[in-house]
Amino acid sequence: MTDSTTNMRLKLPITCFILEIILIILFGVLVQYDHETDSREWHKSNHSDYENDFYYRYPSFQDVHVMIFIGFGFLMTFLQRYGFSSVGFNFLIAAFALQWATLMQGFFHGMHGGKIHIGVESMINADFCTGSVLISFGAVLGKTSPVQLLIMAMFEVTLFAVNEFILLSILGTKDAGGSMTIHTFGAYFGLMVTRILYRPNLDKSKHRNSSVYHSDMFAMIGTIYLWMFWPSFNSAITAHGDDQHRTALNTYYSLAACTLSTYAMSSLTAHDGKLDMVHIQNAALAGGVAAGTAGEMMLTPFGSMIVGFLAGIISVLGFKYLSPILEEKLKIQDTCGVHNLHGMPGILGAIVGAVTAAVATTDVYGNGMKDVFPMIADGGKASYQGGIQAISLAVTLGIALLGGLIVGFILKLPIFGQPPDTICFEDSIYWEVPGEEESHEDQMTAVRTEETEKLNS
């Protein structure tokens, strides 16, 4: 199935080698250990070794890392003939993106004396950025080459870092779990890219754009991993103590409530009341997305459950009714339904964060206000913080849509080896696929042919 257009014999090796060599050189020139990681710097002070940030942050990092490489990877294995590519390309672009993200985020956030200082927290932030890229990957899944994905990741990581810098450093936005910076940005960037890469004849591959029993089981592995570790994802970089504790708890209950509303809506929207595995795999996670911005705030367990409950409902409705409309009317071919899992729940999370910030008071937060809303603790108005949160959503959507538009046109260049309409969602274009066993019918036909030849002789 590989032709001169899709052949990666030179395109992929050249791209990987050039990108990695550039990364190695930039790391050599710009990157060094931070105070917590550098041997000489750490031992200058009288700290106990167990006070090192590693012991506070690394467990959360590992959880996030599992989500990036197993959770996202296996969630996208639902396509019947695209399992190698779903997990394999997820692995490839994640490995590249986390290195590039370290540089881009360090350039904007972690420069000290002309050097980027890195430690366990920068590893977590790089994984967050990578998560946004993998969300966009879901929108273009099955329709892009590995070279296109690497180029998309390069541009998206850069724009992600710019958006994150504007929100967190300039505006003072609070978005610990990334409802805006990760999920909304990744979803709408990916949706715009897939819109520009629109394929009018994609129906020629529609028989592959579906699942089979075992592929949906593999995808559920990704779902369960993501569901289990999402409290760590949202709380990974919040302030130690009650902030981190509260974020994990809020996410925990939001996910649980979301799961029940997902099952309810999936059954309710089917004419025969049967559950749709696509809904369960995706919409059950929407509560984690929606709790991202307000997770560290005093949302309360009750409020978290309402957020998750609503997220499950809008996500299932999106899969059932909105996705077909987006494809038919707006020509947006969203393979994984990232708009329903990350886009709309991300916007819901941003709105919840804005409202929760706008009603924050010192009576509720006490001295903890300094950790959650330092601007309000310094005398600012809660309504102003709420306005900042709302503006941040608009900024994120603007950068994501404009960035996706530009990058989409870049990816349309034929040099990147985009697969033709007739063989999308197919592993064998880019992978050596082990031969499938002959069906019983084929074997019987061969036996009959052999017997006929013997009789004729």
Q: What is the pLDDT of residues 339-385, one digit of tens each?
A: 999 999 999 999 999 999 999 999 999 999 999 999 999 999 999 99
pLDDT value at 255 more than 80: yes
| Nearest-angstrom CA–CA distance, 106 and 122 | 8
What is the percent of the chain where pLDDT is above 70? Answer: 94
Q: Give the start-to-end residue ranges of the domains of the chain.
A: 11-441
Query: What is the pLDDT averaged over residues 308-328?
Result: 97
To the question of pTM greater than 0.75 for the whole model, the response is yes
Q: What is the CATH number of domain 11-441?
A: 1.10.3430.10
Average of pLDDT values for 212-231?
Answer: 96
Burial classification of residue 76, based on how many CB atoms lie within 10 Å of its CB (0-12 exposed, 13-18 middle, 19 or more buried):
buried
Share of the chain above pLDDT 90, in %: 86
Phi/psi zone of residue 63: left (φ > 0), alpha (ψ -120 to 50 degrees), beta? alpha
Q: What is the pLDDT of residues 72-103, one digit of tens each?
A: 999 999 999 999 999 999 999 999 999 999 99
User: At residue 168, what is the residue type?
Assistant: L
- What single DSSP character describes residue 52? S
In the chain, the amino acid numbered 317 is L
Give the strand order in the sheet containing 111-112: 31-33, 115-118, 111-112
What kind and span of H or E run contains 32?
strand 31-33
User: Residue 456: what pLDDT?
Assistant: 54
The answer, yes or no, to whether residue 442 has pLDDT greater than 60, is: no
pLDDT score recorded for residue 46: 80
Q: Which amino acid makes up residue 298?
A: M
Name the least confident of 3-12, 245-254, 319-328, 389-398. 3-12
- Residue 209's nearest CA partner among 90, 111, 336 is 336
Q: What is the pLDDT of residues 34-74, one digit of tens each?
A: 999 999 999 988 888 899 999 999 999 999 999 999 999 99
Residues ≥6 apart with Cβ < 8 Å to 240: 56
Mean pLDDT of the 275-279 span: 96
